[in-house]
Structure 1
Amino acid sequence: MSSSTTHPLVGSYLRDLELLLHGVEAGERAEVLAGVREHLDGTLAPGADDTAVLAALDELGSPQAIADEAYAGRPATPPASPPRPGAMSRAWVPVTVGVLLGLALLVTVLVIGSLGSYATSDGLSSDGTTVVDPEVQFTSPGPGGVVIGLLASWFFWVPATILTLASPLWTNRQKVTLCLLTPLALVALVALPTIGWQSSHTELGINLGAWTSLALVLLGGGVLVWRLCRAAARKTAP
């Protein structure tokens, strides 16, 4: 004759109970299940029918009730503390990046401003009496100026780039923008006055290009750095 614990209703009951006891230590869980089997073996006769099995299970109580008794008195598991944010997610990162990039932009303006120059001279006609348009001589910093500007801003731009790339506070697109801002600013400071001179060969053309590049670098670049670093600061951990 088969054991009463092999009955399908008993098997289903024990499986449900085992699932409910998943948070109990393995030894204690096995002890509870063994106690239930022993009780049913002592209560039910071998080959008991469904009615007798259901009556025995009702007397024993629901699997949830037995599981609640097993959990009773156990110390509550404290909620897991959130993972400590990494150093690159802290508030000092966007502040430092903003200051470093601001200094890098300022250095580029000062360096390119010192390398570029122009001079005007009064023009005379061939007879030496009639004044014609003054001649403008422009010295562009050229590609060498971009290299010198990068070297001069190196101590600000490189640390800012490293911090930006290492921090999760910016998206990939924002990181590319921040990292390329200083080189692009140098290109603008060199190219726009040169384009102004080549297109007009006048003092006005040079100044227009120079002031436009200054506005783009100091105002446009400064506002861009401020907005991106401010957005990153809102994501930081205290």
Structure 2
Amino acid sequence: MTTPVSHPLVDAYLRDLDRLLHGVDPGERAEVLAGVHEHLEVSLGPDASDDDVRRTLAELGSPQSVADEAYAGRTPTGGTAGPGSASPVGTMSRGWVPTVVGLLLGLALLLVVLVVSAGAGYGTSGTETVGADGQVVRTTEIEFSGAPSALLSGLMLTWPLWLTATLLAGLSPLWSSRQAWTLALLVPVTATILWLLPVLGWILTEAELGINVGAWVGLALGLVGGGLVLTRLVVAGSRRAAALAAGRAT
């Protein structure tokens, strides 16, 4: 089966980039090409269409622009100037950006989980009545409002972290538009799931079990699912930064 990185468009892109990097030390050239290759593997799924490949390559930048970044700040092999007008790696393309975005969104996710999950709590109250036969009948009632106040509290508490990370991801070329949107939606979507699932459990069962199952499923999705998505995108951004900065002087 043809994989995304063996797509003819990707193959032509890598060949052009390899040709443009002819003046770079072979070891460093291989490092740049490997970084680009890894970025494409992360960005393109197994069912990527031709349009997906074209869009991802366009977001990555032309082979000329990537080669210019690789030549920036180094003396090419043979002492000749690199292709195009070499310029330093931009501030928003540096390796600190994925690290900061990951830390901010990771902290925001933890706070959202703590605040919203606490709002899924419920209370019970019991009443005792005496039946006609003289027997005492105890009735237990569950009090669960499902008010969205916990959801709003979680979003309000984390919005400075979320906004800063979203702006960094949106302004940085290290992620595609789709990846940047995923990072931006990660915290609000996680908060909504954490609040909504216990409410649905209560609506469907009107029992403690439904609330608890919904809360635990939401917690798993928030911590495990959200954490995996965040980790994958931070790694993708770090690899792209490494690919762009691979040619900097040591």
Deviations 1:178-231 (A, max 9, x none): 101111111111110011011111111000000111111111001100011101
One of 148, 154, 178 as aligned partner of 1:149:
154
**Distance in 1 (alpha carbons) for counterparts of 2:177 and 2:94:** 18
One of 186, 192, 197 as aligned partner of 2:202:
197
2:119 aligns to what? 115
1:11 aligns to what? none
* Cα gap change, 1:183 to 1:126, in 2 (>3 Å): farther
| Matched residue type, 1:184 | V
| Matched residue type, 2:216 | W
1:104 aligns with 2:108: yes
| Matched residue type, 1:178 | L
1:174 aligns with 2:176: no
Identity of aligned residues (%): 42
Shift of 1:114: 3.3
1:137 aligns to what? 143
TM-score between both structures, scaled by the size of structure 2 = 0.59
**Distance in 1 (alpha carbons) for counterparts of 2:169 and 2:201:** 34
Q: For residues 42-81 of structure 1, what are the structure 2 equivalents within 5 Å? A: 78-80=80-82
Shift of 1:155: 2.0
1:25 aligns to what? none
The Cα RMSD (Å) is 2.1
Deviations 1:125-175 (A, max 9, x none): 66252456x321113241x33322211001210110000000111111111
Contact map agreement 2:123 2:144 (CA 8 A) in 1: yes
| Matched residue type, 2:114 | L
Contact map agreement 1:108 1:150 (CA 8 A) in 2: yes
**Distance in 2 (alpha carbons) for counterparts of 1:216 and 1:92:** 28
Contact map agreement 2:120 2:146 (CA 8 A) in 1: yes
| Matched residue type, 1:233 | S
| Matched residue type, 1:79 | A
TM-score between both structures, scaled by the size of structure 1 = 0.62
SS in structure 1 of the partner of residue 240 of structure 2 = coil
Runs of 4+ in 1 over 4 A off after TM superposition: 122-126
Shift of 1:88: 0.9
| Matched residue type, 1:167 | S
Q: How many residues align?
A: 161
* Cα gap change, 1:223 to 1:176, in 2 (>3 Å): same
Q: Which runs of 5+ in 1 are unaligned?
A: 1-75
If asked which structure has higher relative contact order (CA below 8 Å, sep 6+), I would say 2
2:170 aligns to what? 165
